[in-house]
A = this chain, B = another copy of it.
Amino acid sequence: MNNYTTILRQHNLKATPQRLAIADILYVQGHINIESLYAVMLKKFNSISLATIYKNINIMVENSFIQEVKIPHAKSVYELKKEEHSHLVCNECGEVQDVTIDLDTKIDEMAQANNFILSSSNLVLAGICKNCH
């Protein structure tokens, strides 16, 4: 019983081959959009339905097992949930990269100044990645 099986069960989700494959693909690829995920899944399950992809993505998001990342001028991608981090998005190749960057002090100050109770911080930086210049 591998890692993802355990985590899925902890969320009262059955560890089906399809779900384990999604987890595995996200682990390997880091970030992927629905369309590409479907394409990759089709290689492993020749008759998988897009509906299954959507149902699983949705339920896994609801259970905080994975997370949606909304990207300016592009389709959302999904990633395994982990510690808070930011994203670099390349406008050339579309590649999404995780980065950690500590902005807490300034953000907390600002939240306090606005009497705002912070629960999450989403930073997406767009530009050109090192492979595209």
Q: Is the CB of A114 within 8 A of B128?
A: no
A21-29, A47-55, A97-105 - the one binding chain B: A97-105
Given A71-B70, A72-B68, CB of A129 within 8 Å of CB of B116: yes
Number of interface residues of A (CB under 8 A): 34
Asked whether any CB of chain B lies closer than 8 Å to the CB of A106, the reply is: yes
Contact of A70 among B72, B88, B115 (CB under 8 A): B72
A1-9, A10-18, A34-42, A118-126 - the one binding chain B: A118-126
11 new A-B pairs (CB below 8 Å) besides A70-B71, A72-B122, A114-B130? A88-B114, A90-B116, A97-B114, A115-B129, A116-B128, A116-B130, A120-B125, A121-B125, A121-B126, A122-B125, A122-B126
